[in-house]
Amino acid sequence: MSNDSEVASKAMKFESVPQVNVPKGRDGKHKEIITQLLSDIEQLAVGSALKIPLAELPDSKENVRSALSRAARQRKINLATSSNDEFLFVWKTDK
């Protein structure tokens, strides 16, 4: 086993950067659509659902639904979804 002085004396393999330059969030490929959907969901009237054309989604219905679910869970928003061949429907729930 190596001790701390041996580890410290080896040259670093990876570059170091100041922590202020480290990104704090993840800007995934779905960020734009998810941000828009969450904004629309927050404005929904009780008893209403968003009707999102599948043709307007930047990725598959399943991938967008998963990304939306993760983002909503982080914001503590309870959502339900449904879909057919043309649309994805999303609404808030009371869970």
Q: Is residue 75 part of a domain?
A: yes
Closest by alpha carbon to 49, among 19, 90, 20?
Answer: 90
Domain count, the chain: 1
Cα gap 37→61, rounded to integer Å: 13
Q: Is residue 70 part of a domain?
A: yes
Q: Is residue 2 part of a domain?
A: no
Q: Is residue 66 part of a domain?
A: yes
Query: Which residues are CB-neighbours of 85 under 8 A, at least 6 positions away?
Result: 54
Q: Is residue 54 part of a domain?
A: yes
User: Looking at the whole model, is its pTM more than 0.75?
Assistant: no
Give just the sign of the alpha carbon dihedral 14, 18, 21, 22: positive
Closest by alpha carbon to 60, among 41, 40, 33?
Answer: 33
Q: Is residue 7 part of a domain?
A: no
Q: Is residue 4 part of a domain?
A: no
Segment 70-93 mean pLDDT: 96
**pLDDT digit string, tens, across residues 21-79:** 887 766 678 889 999 999 999 999 999 999 999 999 999 999 999 999 999 999 999 99
Give CA separation, 31 vs 35, 44, 78, in Å: 6, 20, 19
The mean-pLDDT minimum among 5-9, 16-20, 52-56 falls in: 5-9
Q: Is residue 19 part of a domain?
A: no
Give CA separation, 72 vs 13, 61, 63, 66, 86, in Å: 38, 16, 14, 10, 23
Owning domain of residue 38: 28-92
Cα gap 51→30, rounded to integer Å: 18
